[in-house]
Every structure is written in C-alpha cells, then in structure tokens.
Amino acid sequence: PENITVQELSNRMAVRVADIIKFMMRQGQMMKQSDELDADTAELIATEFGHTVKRVAESDVEEGLAGDIVDSDENLEPRPPVVTIMGHVDHGKTSLLDALRQTDVVSGEAGGITQHIGAYQVRVASGQRVTFLDTPGHAAFSAMRARGAQVTDIVVLVVAADDGVMPQTVEAIQHAKASGVPIIVAINKMDKQGANPDKVLSELTQHEVIVEQFGGDVQVVKVSALKKEGLEELVEQILLQAEVLNLRANPDRPAEAVVIESKLDKGRGTVATVLVQMGTLKRGDIVVVGAQIGRIRAITNERGQQLQNAGPSEPVEIMGLEGVPEPGNVLNVVENENRAREVADYRARAKKQRTTGIKSTGTSLESMMAK
C-alpha cells in the first residue's frame, strides 16, 4: 500500500513524467506513467531530483488513536445494543421511536424528553438499556457506511402491515445485509383495517429475509406504534439478539465516538450528537473529529441533563468543537492540542489532495514535496 504511480510522483515533484521515465531507463528499468513505484524507488527518484523525502505514513500520523489500542478480554464490559429503526416512508419509524421512548422506566409519565438529539437511550425494567438511533433517512446511513462507520448493532425493519414491502424497505434490507447487521422485523400498524402480516412475511421472503415461521432465523414482532402494542416484546427481542451478539467494549480508555448529526447553533456554537463506541468521553477532553478539533465543553443527554462523561453506546450531545463535522466522522480523544492539530491538519491535507484530483493510492509519501 506504500506505492505511488509515476504520474503521481511527477505531480508531487513538479517534474515531467518523461524525465522520471528517462531516469528510470538509465537505471535499467522501463516504466510508463501509470506504473507503480514502491516507496524505496520513489524515494530514490525524489532524492535524485533534489527533493528531501519525509515519509509520512497515515499510520504514523494516526497512530495511537483509539483504534490502535487493543483491548484485552478482561477490559471488556457489556454495553447496550445500538438499534437503528429503518423502513419505508410513512411506515411508522418515528411513531415507533416515540412509542419506544415512552417505555423508558426512568423518564416517567411525561416521557421526560426535553429535546430531540437524534439518538436516545431507553432503560427497561430489568435495568438494561437500549440505544436507539433516529437516523435522518437512509442517505445519512449510507454516508456512514461508506465511511466505514459501523454504528448500529441491530436494524429494526419497520413494515406497515397494510402496505407491505416497498422500495425503501428493500433498500433498508440491503443496507443491513451489506453491513452484516441482524434484522428484527417489526410489522407495524397492526391496528389498521386491511392489516395483512402474512403477506408482509411472504414478501420479505422474496428478499431473503426469512422469518422463523418459514424456517429462517429472523425474529418478527407485530406492533402498533399508535396503540402502543407489542412494544415490550420488541424490546425483549432486541435484548435477546443483543445477548447473542455479546456486545462488549472497554470503558476505561480514551474515547472513540462517531458523529450522528451536527449543526451550528447561533448561541452555542457547534453542537454534535455523537455515539460513544469505546472508552469514556469526558468533559475537558481534547478531541479530533475528521479535520476538526475541539475541547469538550459540555456533554448533554436526551433529557437535557449535563453529564461529566459518557461511556460505550451512550448517545450524547457535545459542545466545544471548532467546526462542524460530518455524520459518520469519527471522534478521537487525544493527549493534547498539538496532537489534535497534527492529525486534523494531516486529514485536511489528505482531503484537499483527494478533491483536487490527485489520486491517493494510500501512499505514504504525502509530504514528498518538502524541498
């Protein structure tokens, strides 16, 4: 992966391709502009053309970020499942989320929700917790997946009993399958005239979602978000599935989180909803998020409560980022501001290079141009 093409090297050194090819010919090697050079050869050429080579590997700059710390088994603790509700337009995703939110045993009668933060946690009677993501449509989910951000452990696929499998249902199935995430089917609107759950099940079969009664392993729960029926069973199925997945994380390490949504708030600056994936995020932490840096000034949960920290699977709203990150960006806690800037600058450069059309082959010769 440390290779660079002749063309790319020529771009970076502002030297003609022909001159590089000529030089290589003198070394006894015939090359064309699309050929790849390994890092040693590229360095040799660059030195020959008067450049000082400083190899900056992604692994150097990004080294030591949370992903590099390998957790040993005894550091891992159970974490709540992260569940994304998906399905076709109007099949009742939002209604179901709202209904599930009201099953929270802690928040009390009124629901206790003071603000919408795009993600929330429900505590069930057993003391277990489930994190629900209110993904703003499939586009964001795809964007996250494209960036390799695996945010969800389980997909709850909502299908309206009176409407059946529709295009976005199929899309959601494909997302879940591509991510390797198990599906739980929630057949919604069971209260409606014309509800036909059997039709839904056979339609699902055509898309290779095989439910238990047809010999598969996909669980189905019939619900009515409107009448608040079947919700406990749905939560139960989610917890069962979570148990099978054996979800664990080390809370005792610098946090890594993923951005769910973010915006610029007039009074408060950048406000981002993040889902902590490992470690514990603390107030005062210095972070790098994509090409942005920041210091965590406030951590707020969906009830509007100020927290000192947030652990694995906790969705929280944070303040203190200097710029607005994109959904799917990964947030890492780093030791100090210099380190944050180093990583952010590197990422900004890498991004600029990508957008100016210089194809990155994952090369480690980023700053070869330093004269």
Catalytic residues: 90, 93-94, 138
State which of residues 224, 250, 292, 309 lies at the interface with ligand GTP (CB under 6 A): 224
Q: Which is nearer to ligand GTP, 78 or 197 (by Cβ)? A: 197
CB of 186 to ligand GTP, least distance (A): 10
Q: Which residues on adjacent β-strands are paired with residue 334? A: 286
Candidates 86-94, 121-129, 177-185, 263-271 — which segment interacts with Mg ion by CB under 5 A? 86-94
* Cα separation values, 242 from 153, 156, 180, 351, Å: 8, 12, 14, 37
Q: Which is nearer to Mg ion, 47 or 94 (by Cβ)? A: 94
Quick note: the x/- pattern for ligand GTP over 89-118, rule CB under 6 A, is: xxxxxxx-----------------------
CA distance 56 to 362: 11
State which of residues 45, 225, 259, 281 lies at the interface with ligand GTP (CB under 6 A): 225
Q: Which is nearer to Mg ion, 94 or 115 (by Cβ)? A: 94
Look at residue 90 and give the partner it binds from Mg ion, ligand GTP, none, a contact being a CB closer than 5 to 8 Å depending on partner kind: ligand GTP
CA distance 255 to 333: 6
Quick note: the x/- pattern for ligand GTP over 39-78, rule CB under 6 A, is: ----------------------------------------
Exposed / middle / buried, residue 126 (Cβ in 10 Å: 0-12, 13-18, 19+): exposed
Number of Cβ atoms within 10 Å of the Cβ of 55: 15
Look at residue 188 and give the partner it binds from Mg ion, ligand GTP, none, a contact being a CB closer than 5 to 8 Å depending on partner kind: ligand GTP
Here the tokens at position 301 are: 């949960």
CA distance 275 to 262: 12
Q: Please tell me whether residue 189 binds ligand GTP under the rule CB under 6 A.
A: yes
Q: Which is nearer to ligand GTP, 226 or 350 (by Cβ)? A: 226
Distant-in-sequence, close-in-space partners of 236: CB < 8 Å, separation ≥ 6: none
* Cα separation values, 9 from 23, 44, 68, 307, 357, Å: 13, 12, 30, 50, 14
Candidates 84-92, 116-124, 240-248, 282-290 — which segment interacts with ligand GTP by CB under 6 A? 84-92
CA distance 219 to 183: 8
Query: Angle at the Cα of 141 (from 218 to 349), degrees rounded to 5?
Result: 140
CB of 133 to Mg ion, least distance (A): 13
Q: Which is nearer to ligand GTP, 51 or 88 (by Cβ)? A: 88
CA distance 153 to 111: 25
State which of residues 29, 94, 174, 213 lies at the interface with Mg ion (CB under 5 A): 94
CA distance 98 to 93: 9
Measure the N-to-C terminal CA separation of the chain; round to a whole number of Å.
24
Distant-in-sequence, close-in-space partners of 278: CB < 8 Å, separation ≥ 6: 66, 71, 249, 250, 251, 253, 255, 256, 312
Q: Which is nearer to ligand GTP, 168 or 353 (by Cβ)? A: 168
Residue with the two structure tokens 């600056």: 269
Look at residue 226 and give the partner it binds from Mg ion, ligand GTP, none, a contact being a CB closer than 5 to 8 Å depending on partner kind: ligand GTP
Look at residue 189 and give the partner it binds from ligand GTP, Mg ion, none, a contact being a CB closer than 5 to 8 Å depending on partner kind: ligand GTP
The annotation places the binding site for GTP at: 87-94, 134-138, 188-191
> For binding to ligand GTP (CB under 6 A), which residues are involved?
87, 89-95, 188-189, 191-192, 224-226
> For binding to Mg ion (CB under 5 A), which residues are involved?
93-94
